[in-house]
Amino acid sequence: MCSLCGVLGGSGHWTDAAARPGIFTRNVDSPQRRRERAHRIACASRVLAYYGLTLSDWQASSFVLSTATGKTELVEDLGHLWAAAERLLGRPCDPLDPDLIVRLEGSGLHD
Protein backbone atom coordinates (compact mmCIF):
# COMPACT_ATOMS: atom_id res chain seq x y z
CA MET A 1 0.00 0.00 0.00
CA CYS A 2 1.25 3.49 -0.74
CA SER A 3 1.92 5.95 2.06
CA LEU A 4 -1.07 8.12 1.19
CA CYS A 5 -3.48 5.19 1.33
CA GLY A 6 -2.01 4.18 4.68
CA VAL A 7 -2.59 7.66 6.07
CA LEU A 8 -6.08 8.04 4.66
CA GLY A 9 -7.08 4.49 5.53
CA GLY A 10 -6.62 5.02 9.24
CA SER A 11 -4.94 2.75 11.71
CA GLY A 12 -7.20 -0.25 11.33
CA HIS A 13 -5.52 -3.60 10.73
CA TRP A 14 -7.13 -6.90 9.83
CA THR A 15 -6.10 -8.28 13.25
CA ASP A 16 -8.20 -5.59 14.91
CA ALA A 17 -11.95 -5.70 15.30
CA ALA A 18 -14.19 -5.88 12.25
CA ALA A 19 -17.80 -4.75 11.96
CA ARG A 20 -19.42 -8.18 12.12
CA PRO A 21 -21.78 -8.77 15.03
CA GLY A 22 -20.78 -11.83 17.00
CA ILE A 23 -17.27 -11.89 15.55
CA PHE A 24 -15.66 -8.57 16.47
CA THR A 25 -17.23 -5.29 17.45
CA ARG A 26 -15.48 -2.25 16.00
CA ASN A 27 -16.84 1.00 17.45
CA VAL A 28 -20.04 -0.66 18.63
CA ASP A 29 -19.37 -1.92 22.14
CA SER A 30 -16.26 -0.39 23.69
CA PRO A 31 -15.97 -2.84 26.63
CA GLN A 32 -16.33 -5.80 24.28
CA ARG A 33 -13.71 -4.35 21.93
CA ARG A 34 -11.29 -4.00 24.86
CA ARG A 35 -11.98 -7.60 25.93
CA GLU A 36 -11.29 -8.82 22.39
CA ARG A 37 -8.02 -6.88 22.27
CA ALA A 38 -6.99 -8.26 25.67
CA HIS A 39 -7.80 -11.77 24.46
CA ARG A 40 -5.66 -11.32 21.32
CA ILE A 41 -2.78 -10.06 23.51
CA ALA A 42 -3.15 -13.04 25.84
CA CYS A 43 -3.10 -15.49 22.92
CA ALA A 44 -0.03 -13.88 21.37
CA SER A 45 1.67 -13.76 24.77
CA ARG A 46 1.31 -17.53 25.17
CA VAL A 47 3.21 -18.04 21.95
CA LEU A 48 5.77 -15.30 22.63
CA ALA A 49 6.58 -16.75 26.08
CA TYR A 50 8.18 -19.69 24.26
CA TYR A 51 10.77 -17.22 22.96
CA GLY A 52 11.15 -15.39 26.28
CA LEU A 53 9.16 -12.37 25.09
CA THR A 54 6.24 -10.50 26.59
CA LEU A 55 3.56 -8.43 24.91
CA SER A 56 1.51 -5.69 26.49
CA ASP A 57 -1.00 -3.13 25.35
CA TRP A 58 0.04 0.48 24.88
CA GLN A 59 -2.87 2.92 25.08
CA ALA A 60 -5.11 0.59 23.05
CA SER A 61 -3.33 1.72 19.89
CA SER A 62 -0.07 -0.25 19.78
CA PHE A 63 1.75 -3.03 21.57
CA VAL A 64 4.98 -3.15 23.56
CA LEU A 65 7.12 -6.22 22.85
CA SER A 66 9.85 -6.88 25.43
CA THR A 67 12.67 -9.33 26.01
CA ALA A 68 13.65 -10.76 29.38
CA THR A 69 16.66 -8.41 29.39
CA GLY A 70 14.49 -5.31 28.95
CA LYS A 71 14.90 -4.58 25.25
CA THR A 72 11.59 -3.28 23.94
CA GLU A 73 10.01 -2.33 20.68
CA LEU A 74 6.74 -0.58 19.99
CA VAL A 75 4.68 -2.66 17.54
CA GLU A 76 1.97 -0.90 15.56
CA ASP A 77 -0.24 -3.96 15.06
CA LEU A 78 -0.10 -7.74 15.28
CA GLY A 79 0.87 -7.91 11.62
CA HIS A 80 4.29 -6.50 12.55
CA LEU A 81 4.75 -8.70 15.63
CA TRP A 82 6.95 -11.50 14.29
CA ALA A 83 9.37 -9.23 12.44
CA ALA A 84 9.80 -7.20 15.63
CA ALA A 85 10.31 -10.36 17.70
CA GLU A 86 13.03 -11.53 15.34
CA ARG A 87 14.75 -8.13 15.45
CA LEU A 88 14.75 -8.09 19.26
CA LEU A 89 16.03 -11.64 19.57
CA GLY A 90 18.37 -11.60 16.60
CA ARG A 91 17.10 -14.97 15.42
CA PRO A 92 14.09 -16.44 13.63
CA CYS A 93 10.83 -16.97 15.52
CA ASP A 94 8.38 -19.41 14.02
CA PRO A 95 4.89 -19.34 15.57
CA LEU A 96 4.24 -22.66 13.80
CA ASP A 97 7.32 -24.39 15.24
CA PRO A 98 6.25 -28.00 15.97
CA ASP A 99 7.91 -27.93 19.44
CA LEU A 100 6.00 -24.76 20.31
CA ILE A 101 2.70 -26.27 19.21
CA VAL A 102 3.35 -29.41 21.28
CA ARG A 103 4.16 -27.25 24.30
CA LEU A 104 0.98 -25.17 23.86
CA GLU A 105 -1.16 -28.27 23.44
CA GLY A 106 0.44 -29.89 26.49
CA SER A 107 -0.13 -26.85 28.66
CA GLY A 108 -3.80 -26.57 27.79
CA LEU A 109 -3.21 -22.93 26.89
CA HIS A 110 -4.10 -23.11 23.21
CA ASP A 111 -7.28 -21.56 21.85
Give domain status of residue 63, yes or no.
yes
Give domain status of residue 77, yes or no.
yes
pLDDT at 17: 56
pLDDT at 99: 93
In one-letter notation, the amino acid at residue 46 is: R
pTM comes to: 0.70
pLDDT at 3: 45
**8 A C-beta contact, residue 75 and residue 63:** yes
pLDDT at 21: 57
Whole-angstrom distance, CA of residue 49 vs CA of residue 55 = 9
pLDDT at 108: 67
> Which range of residues forms the domain containing residue 96?
53-111
Sites in the chain below the pLDDT cut of 50? 1-10, 25
Give domain status of residue 48, yes or no.
no
Q: What is the mean pLDDT of the chain?
A: 80
Whole-angstrom distance, CA of residue 90 vs CA of residue 52 = 13
Domains in the chain, number: 1
If one counts every other C-beta atom within 10 angstroms of the C-beta of residue 67, the result is: 16
